[in-house]
Amino acid sequence: MTRMQNFLKGLVKENPTLVLVLGTCPTLAISTSVTAAFGMGIAATAVLICSNMAISALRNTIPDRVRIPCYIVLVAGFVTVVELLMEAFAYSLYQSLGVYLALIVVNCIILGRAEMYANKHGVIDSAIDGLGMGLGFTLAICSMGTIREILGGGSWCGIPIPWFHENPIGILTMAPGGFFVFGCMIALVNKISKGKAIKKKEFGCMGCMLCEKGVCGKEESAK
C-alpha cells in the first residue's frame, strides 16, 4: 500500500467513526459544537499519531503477554500530556471537552489501531496511519457537529446563522438528537457507498484490540 493510500484509507474507506464504528462515545458527546468537535478531533489525532509511533518503535521490545497494559500506559501518558497542555494553553476548549478528553485513553480507535496496525508496521507508516485515521475521525465528528450545531443551536463555530438561530431544534443538541443524527449519518454513508461500507456484521468494539485473537469474526459461532 502506498503512503498516500495508507493516509487516505483513514479518511474515507475505513473512516473509524462512520465505517468501523469505533470511538462512538466522544462522537456522540462532543458533537454539539463544531469548535469543541474540532478540538477533540485534533487532540485524538495527536494522541493517535504519538501512540502509534511509540508502539511501533517498541513493537519488538514489548513482550506479548504484557502488551495490553504497556499500550494502555503509553496511551494514557500521551493523553495526560495533551490534558496538561490544554489546561494551560487552551482552557475554554479544555472546559468544553470535560471528562471526554481523558476518555481518549479508552477510545477504541487508538487501542484498535495500536493492535491492528502499529505493532505490525514501521514507525513512519504507523504515523501516517494515525494521521489518516485521526483526520477521518475529526472529519466525521465535525460533520456531525455542523449538523447538530446549525440545526440544534442555530450557529456554526459560535457564529449565529440568521434563520436557524431563531428556530433551533433544541433536542438535537441533547442525547436523543445525538443518537438520531449519528444514525442518519451512517445511513447516508451506507447509501453513498451502496452498501459496500457495511463490511462488518457485528459493529462497534468488536474491531477493538481486546478481542481475543481469532475470536472476532467468529462471534456468531461463539454465541
Residue list 133-152, contact with another protein (CB under 8 A): 152
**Residue with smaller CB distance to another protein, 1 or 84:** 84
* Cα atoms in the 13 Å half-sphere on the side-chain side of 204: 4
Interface with another protein, residue 61, by CB under 8 A: yes
Q: Is 159 exposed, middle or buried (0-12, 13-18, 19+ CB in 10 A)?
A: exposed
Measured CA to CA, the distance from residue 171 to residue 6 in angstroms comes to 38
Q: Which of 5, 171, 196, 199 touches another protein by CB under 8 A?
A: 171
Q: Residue 74 Cβ, how far from another protein at the closest point, in Å? A: 7
> What are the cell numbers at 77?
501518558
CB of 30 to another protein, least distance (A): 9
Which of these segments, 2-10, 56-64, 114-122, 126-134, binds another protein (CB under 8 A)? Answer: 56-64
**Residue nearer to another protein on the CB measure, 34 or 128:** 34
- Is 191 among the residues that bind another protein (CB under 8 A)? yes
Containing 159, the helix (H) or strand (E) segment is strand 159-160
H or E element, residue 36: helix 34-57
